[in-house]
Structure 1
Amino acid sequence: MSGPIEVRMPKYPECWESCGNCAQGDVFVLELLVQAGDTLARDDNILTLETGKVALDIPCPYAGTVREVFVCEGDVLAEGALLLTLDPS
């Protein structure tokens, strides 16, 4: 039996480093779209990020049931930050 799957903040787009225009300011959670107990399909959106210039939906790379959410609206996120854990479906 496998344990929970960790879903982490993906790598920011490379263009953010070269241009930097879209990623001005802190990258924070604008809207949290899931909560513990929700069932997700692969690619369902889990949160919306705000970068100061753009809003960006972050999809879930796995299917499963949300066990625990580790971020809140307004949280500033870094690459690799733990977003949630899933029980695989």
Structure 2
Amino acid sequence: MNTRIVRMPKYPECWQSCGSCASGDVFILEMLVAPGDRLERDDNILTLETGKVALDIPTPCAGRVVEVHVIAGDRVDEGAPLVTLAID
């Protein structure tokens, strides 16, 4: 089985220059997938709360969710593993 770990993408550059959207804690508001779920490219895997806005984080590839590495309430840094997908 070919797998791929989907990681937290790089935060937008504007967060460093303005910082308004990222003020306060950045954490997972809601997980939208569970092990066994089938995802297509760009399906949302979680909603991230940034203090001022909620952002949906999509998957960069299609596959079946094998493992979820985070839960609602977790604080996530850039590059943190989110889910492992089995790639067809």
TM-score tier, shorter chain, comes to: over 0.9
Counterpart for residue 76 of structure 1: 75
Correspondence 1:67 to 2:66: yes
Counterpart for residue 24 of structure 2: 25
Give 1:23's aligned amino acid: A
Tell me the alpha carbon deviations over residues 1-58 of structure 1, each in whole angstroms, 9 at most, x when there is no partner.
x531010000000000000000001110001000000000000000000011000000
Counterpart for residue 40 of structure 1: 39
Counterpart for residue 57 of structure 1: 56
Distance 2:76 2:26 in 1: 6
Structure 1 alignment gaps of length 5 or more: none
Structure 2 alignment gaps of length 5 or more: none
Identity of aligned residues (%): 67
TM-score, structure 2 as length reference: 0.97
Alignment size in residue pairs: 88
Distance 1:75 1:28 in 2: 5
Query: Secondary structure at 1:62's aligned position in 2?
Result: coil
Tell me the alpha carbon deviations over residues 45-74 of structure 1, each in whole angstroms, 9 at most, x when there is no partner.
000000110000000001000000000000
Structure 1 runs of 4+ aligned residues shifted over 4 Å read: none
TM-score, structure 1 as length reference: 0.96
